[in-house]
Amino acid sequence: MNLKEKIIELIRKTADELPADVIAGMEKAEREEDNPVAKEILGKLLLNVKEAKGEKKPMCQDTGTPFFYVRYPREYAQKELTAIINQAIDEATEKIPLRPNAVDCLSGKNIGNKAVIHFEETDSADAKLEIDLLLKGGGSENVSIIYSLPNTELKAGRDLEGVRKCILDAVFKAQGKACPPYIIGVALGGNYESVAGASKKQLLRKLDDKNPVTELDELERKVLKEINELGIGPMGLGGKTTALGVKIFAGTRHPASYFVGISISCWGLRRQSLTIKN
């Protein structure tokens, strides 16, 4: 397989197969859920995951916007990689098939699919090309949000207590609109533009990993527990499973600013990776 074919296979796998850690999170939630409607919904979702993989079909009709995170050694050039990824997306849209999800804002015309690609050049000795792909649907993008602290409505100040309130507020406002149970990526600091991207990137972390920063690890656990006390439940029909995970990153900020970026993913967090060794 050449690189383009490997990327098409990565796209297929991402659309059709839920990652093992997310399946494990869903299975645990189904076991522990005691609301009968919620338990039944979680069971059906897991059945759909199994059928999608078995029949090689996208588990959700919204195959989302493709977000690529590419780490490349200097032997590669961004321009060529961009061309290969775009070609792979066009072919995958026909082959897999993906739903064409790129609509021109002015003409309203659907032009197929358009990838968002982030590049990072690596300088490691064992030079390899690594590509993470996230397929994220529109419904969960629509409830993602950026807060600027302090926030008087929430009485949220510029500290982790303020951040906790923002996360709870975002989930409370989303209710069942974006297919809970959610996975929530959070980023602090930065600026208006970077904080959104950094929060989305937190969705690439495994659900069962541990944040190396103790304060953030504690906040992740605490706020996850609290979100599940909201009782929104799968699809907003009640239950104790409203979120499967919260992942938080803290960067630097301008002295005047304290942004909190919150990227909400639906239960179907579709992400897979590809590594090519030289």
Sites of contact with other proteins (CB under 8 A): 37, 41, 44-45, 47-48, 51-52, 55, 57-63, 97-101, 103, 108-110, 139, 142, 154-156, 165, 168-169, 172, 175-179, 226, 229-233, 235-238, 266-268
Q: How far is the CB of 116 from other proteins (least distance, A)?
A: 18
C-alpha to C-alpha distance for 186 and 216, rounded to whole angstroms: 10
CB of 55 to other proteins, least distance (A): 6
Query: b/e for 202-233, b at 16 or more Cβ within 10 A?
Result: bbbbebeeebeeeebeebbeebbebbbeeebb
> Smallest gap, in angstroms, from Cβ of residue 8 to other proteins?
16
Shortest separation between residue 165's beta carbon and other proteins, angstroms: 5
100 vs 197 by CB, closer to other proteins: 100
Q: Which is nearer to other proteins, 131 or 156 (CB)?
A: 156
Amino acid at 2: N
Minimum distance from residue 190 beta carbon to other proteins (Å): 24
Q: How far is the CB of 209 from other proteins (least distance, A)?
A: 24
User: Is 55 or 120 the residue whose CB approaches other proteins more closely?
Assistant: 55
Shorter beta-carbon distance to other proteins: residue 3 or 174: 174
Strand order in the sheet with 182-190: 145-148, 259-265, 182-190, 243-253
Tokens 């093992």: give the residue: 20
Long-range contacts of 205-209 (CB under 8 A, 24+ apart): 205/247, 206/19, 206/21, 207/21, 207/22, 207/24, 207/25, 207/183, 207/244, 207/245, 208/21, 208/24, 208/25
Closest to other proteins by CB, 44 or 128:
44
The smaller minimum CB distance to other proteins, of residues 190 and 233, is found at: 233
Least distance to other proteins from the beta carbon of 231, Å?
5
Q: Which is nearer to other proteins, 98 or 274 (CB)?
A: 98
